[in-house]
Structure 1
Amino acid sequence: MNPLPQNMENALTGSQSSHASLRDVHSINPTQLMARIESYEGREKKGISDVRRTFCLFVTFDLLFVTLLWIIELNVNGGIENTLEKEVVQYDYYSSYFDIFLLAVFRFKVLILAYAVCRLRHWWAIALTTAVTSAFLLAKVILSKLFSQGAFGYVLPIISFILAWIETWFLDFKVLPQEAEEENRLLIVQDASERAALIPGGLSDGQFYSPPESEAV
């Protein structure tokens, strides 16, 4: 049997598949594509994504929560004015909580500057703040006498340590991956829009045809 008809049939089948793929591209609705692009561009114009805004809000909560605990500690240990003078003016590394408050201020300034003002898309800033926080708190817990000063000797270092690592987890597993996914979606939609724009008008199914099969010889 002559193999020519079978080869021709395979070629025609491949031609029909390519025509089907072309129909899929031509069937893309330009209006929907433009709506999606405008939606993504609108998010970009806001300057900061929703998940990044949530991260910055949590960083602010970190500072306010540690500040609140420190003020409570000042008030419990003999009044705010007297204790404030003792911990700030007469600062002692081994007994003062003032440095833990400054550590929260340090995290707040670095993270807000990096991820809200500069809109950094890298983890180095959060790695810096978490490393500094962890090293300082571990050294302070080992060397200082905080545990002999009541419950706050446990609460402030532990809370500060946990908040720093929650910020690291949130940025590394939520903020950066979601923003990268949104950016990839925007690129895909823009690419589809550019391909659809090359077609002056929608093509009907009647414009695609396959030649009749040849009779077997």
Structure 2
Amino acid sequence: MADRRHIREAAESLLGSVTGPHYCRNLSHSQSINLVSEDLVAGHRPHGKMSTVRRFFCLFVTFDILFSSLMWLICVMMRGETLEQIVEREIIHYNIKTSLFDIVLVAIIRFVVLLLFYGLLYINNWSIIALSTGGTCAFLISKVFFYDWPNASTPVYQVFLILASFTLSWGETWFLDFRVLPQEQQAKYILEAIGGHTSERTPLLNTCNERASPLRPPGVQSTYGESTVNWFSPVETPESSPKRRRPGEQLILTQEQGLVDCPIKFLHDEFKNNIVRIPEWNPTILQSEFIKEIADGIDLTYQVTAGGGRGIISPRDFVNLRRVAPMTKDGRVTDGEPYCYVISAISVKVPDYPPRSDMVRGNNKVSCWVLKPKSVQLPDGRIVQTTVFQWLLCCDLKGKIPQFVLDAAFATVMLDYIVHLRKFAANAKAKGLF
């Protein structure tokens, strides 16, 4: 029970990301992919570890010290001196007018300072690198004035060493200020937009916009208006386990129970016969077409889904082979009184509906809705017929989208769907359609 309660609370925490029935659709597919691949993937810190873009910055700083040291060795070895003579002249008897080792020393200082503050302490401020670059530039300018250029043996290499040190220091500043910090901040914003920002003081259950519902037992408050549902999804692999989800492996989400205040026959007929009207009441579906009926309860459909994750995931289209069948309790198709209705679908290829050039074709590996009748007793003693809505989803959206983004987006879409379905049923009941 403790694990079940934990799963429920984790799922309901995703409700913070649902801001309404609309979605941000102002990003093109190419912009969405670039946003994910650059700002989100590079700036994301998996399990609190160093982000990819910051790790590249630390590698760049390491390259700085190695390149400066190599250039210094080339410059001093051109004199034809032995290693002992080089150490004595450049380091032991250091003179700013004749020695170039100070440029290597400045690179060493930059290496230590930048890795300490940005690699170990993981600060998110530009002040430290501004000081290191400013100090480097001030020293190099002074070096140009003090160095004995007329007696330089290889002035071309020495000039190149100074210019390389100047360029590398400014390159580090540019990369940190225009790449590392913005991408990490953008990744943080995107993840908060998808999964909602929570802290140890943030309530796990949203209790705003409470409205009475005849389906809720007396004295029990809804945690999300009328959208409260029980959820189940496979528990994540423990951190100590060596088994992790492979790249491209899809998470199967199951919405275990969601009560809809309408008879099962009404919901069944709506899904089976009025699929083209779904976008009228469900903004998560932009387009829904009936292609062809193959047999009784078996048909081909085409749908375009709205983008998810506030524009991170662009709209996708699907061509599905669908079957609507009444089932007995033991899972057999029946012509009599059914225990439930099963609406299953899988992606197929249809020649008349090829992939569109302006949209990514998703792959619906397995999708299944189960509608079960349930009698609910109201506080006044009346019995009403409702429908238990269950949803199994395993979908490959294609594109370069991290799995953790898909997991959060799928859960949010499923939550939105039950919200819109309940609103649709409430409006139909108000119009006397059942």
TM-score range relative to shorter protein: 0.7 to 0.9
The residue that corresponds to 1:207 in the other structure is 425
Report the Cα offset of residue 195 of structure 1: 8.1
Moved over 6 A (4+): 192-197
| 2:118 corresponds to 1:115 | yes
Aligned residues of 1:87 and 1:97 also touching (Cα < 8 A): yes
1:121-149 deviation line (CA, Å, top 9, x unaligned) = 00011101100000000011012214641
Distance 1:53 1:147, change over 3 A: farther
- More displaced 10-residue stretch of structure 1: 142-151 or 75-84: 142-151
2:166 corresponding residue in structure 1:
161
Displacement of 1:43 in angstroms is 2.7
Structure 2 counterparts to residues 71-86 of structure 1, below 5 A: 71-77=73-79, 78-86=81-89
Name the aligned partner's letter for residue 195 of structure 2.
Q
Counterpart contact for 2:114–2:128, Cα < 8 Å: yes
Q: 1:133–1:161: 8 Å Cα contact kept in structure 2?
A: yes
Determine helix, strand or coil for the equivalent of 1:119. coil
| Alignment map for 1:3-82 (pairs within 5 Å) | 22-23=20-21, 43-77=45-79, 78-82=81-85
Q: Quote how far apart the aligned CAs of 1:108 are.
A: 0.3
1:111/1:192 CA distance change after superposition, 3 Å: closer
- CA offset at residue 72 of structure 1? 1.7
Choose the corresponding residue for 1:89, options 92, 108, 111: 92
Cα distance in 1, alignment partners of residues 84 and 181 from structure 2: 43
**Structure number having the greater strand percentage:** 2
Checking the alignment, whether the CA contact within 8 Å between 2:75 and 2:158 is kept in structure 1 is: no
- Count of residues paired in the alignment: 178
- In the alignment, structure 1 residue 181 sits paired with structure 2 residue 211: no
Which residue in 2 is equivalent to 1:190?
Answer: 195
Instruction: Give the CA deviation at 1:190.
Output: 2.4
Q: Is the Cα contact below 8 Å between 1:146 and 1:153 reproduced in 2?
A: no
- Please identify, of 72-81 and 124-133, the stretch whose mean Cα deviation from structure 2 is larger: 72-81
Partner of 2:101 in structure 1? 98
Consecutive unaligned residues of structure 2, counting only runs of 5 or more, are 1-18, 24-40, 199-203, 207-222, 230-417
State the shift of 1:70 in Å: 1.1
Deviations 1:80-132 (A, max 9, x none): 22122111111111110011010000100010001100001000111011000
Percent identical across equivalent pairs? 35
Give the counterpart letter for 1:124 in structure 2: S
Amino acid at match of 1:75: M
Amino acid at match of 1:200: T
Per-residue deviation at 1:189?
A: 1.7
Q: Distance in 1 between matches of 2:123 and 2:145?
A: 34
Match of 1:35 in 2: none
Greater helix percent: which structure? 1
Aligned in 2, Cα 1:22/1:116: closer, same or farther, shift over 3 Å?
Answer: closer
Deviation at 1:207, TM superposition (A): 2.7
What is the CA-CA distance between 1:48 and the residue it aligns to? 0.8
**Structure 1 residue 22: Cα displacement:** 4.9
Judged with a 3 Å threshold, the aligned counterparts in structure 2 of structure 1 residues 59 and 146 are, in CA distance, closer, same or farther, namely farther
Q: Is the 8 A contact 1:134 1:161 kept in 2?
A: yes
Query: TM-score scaled by structure 1?
Result: 0.73
CA RMSD of aligned residues (A): 2.8
Contact 1:95 1:145 in 2 (8 A): yes
Secondary structure in 1 matching 2:77: helix
Name the counterpart of 1:131.
134
> 1 CA distance for matches of 2:191 and 2:96?
51
Q: Distance in 1 between matches of 2:73 and 2:184?
A: 37
3-state SS of paired residue (2:427): coil
Partners of 1:63 and 1:163 in 2: CA distance: 10
5+ long unaligned stretches in structure 1:
1-20, 26-38, 213-217
Q: Deviations over 1:137-195 (max 9, x none)?
A: 00110122146412222011110000000000001100000000001112112228978
